[in-house]
């Protein structure tokens, strides 16, 4: 069994209205040191085999085909 964590984040320069709303909520709560917030998504995926190389290929493929919209999002795959 392979466990992986995929993190999908908006690319630099792409406006993140949700991140901005969260940043302003943190300011309301008096967290004065917050210089910016970017919101992303996390996918924890379990694979039913233990072939690491195959897992890396499959996970990248999942990101390309569905999990990330590569027009606006970056993704990072971490096998844990």
Partner 1 sequence: MKPAIVLLPGLNRDRDMIAAIETITGKKPLTLWQTETEIPADVGLVIVPGGFSFGDYLRCGAIGARMPVMRAVAEAAARGVRVLGVCNGFQLLIEAGLLPGALMRNASLNFVCRSVRLQIVNADTAFTRNYRPGQIIDCPVAHHDGNYFADAETLARLEGDDRIVFRYAEGTNPNGSTADIAGIVNARGNVLGMMPHPENLVEPAHGGTDGRALFESALDLVEA
Q: Which residues bind partner 1 (CB under 8 A)?
A: 14-15, 17-18, 21, 65-67, 69, 71-72
Q: How far is the CB of 40 from partner 1 (least distance, A)?
A: 12
Three-state secondary-structure class, residue 27: helix
Q: Which is nearer to partner 1, 29 or 66 (CB)?
A: 66
**Assigned token pair, 78:** 């971490």
Q: Using the minimum distance from each CB to partner 1, give the nearer residue, 21 or 79.
A: 21
Nearer to partner 1, 41 or 52 (CB): 41
**How many Å separate Cα 53 from the centre of its chain?**
21
| Rounded CA separation 6/41 (Å) | 8
């Amino acid at each position: 069994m392979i466990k992986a964590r995929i993190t999908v984040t908006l690319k630099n320069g792409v406006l993140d209205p949700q991140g901005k709303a969260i940043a302003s909520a943190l300011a309301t709560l008096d967290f004065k040191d917050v210089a910016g917030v970017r919101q992303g998504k996390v996918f924890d995926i379990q694979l039913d085999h233990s072939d690491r190389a195959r897992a890396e290929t499959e996970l990248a493929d999942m990101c390309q085909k569905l999990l990330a919209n590569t027009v606006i999002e970056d993704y990072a795959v971490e096998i844990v």
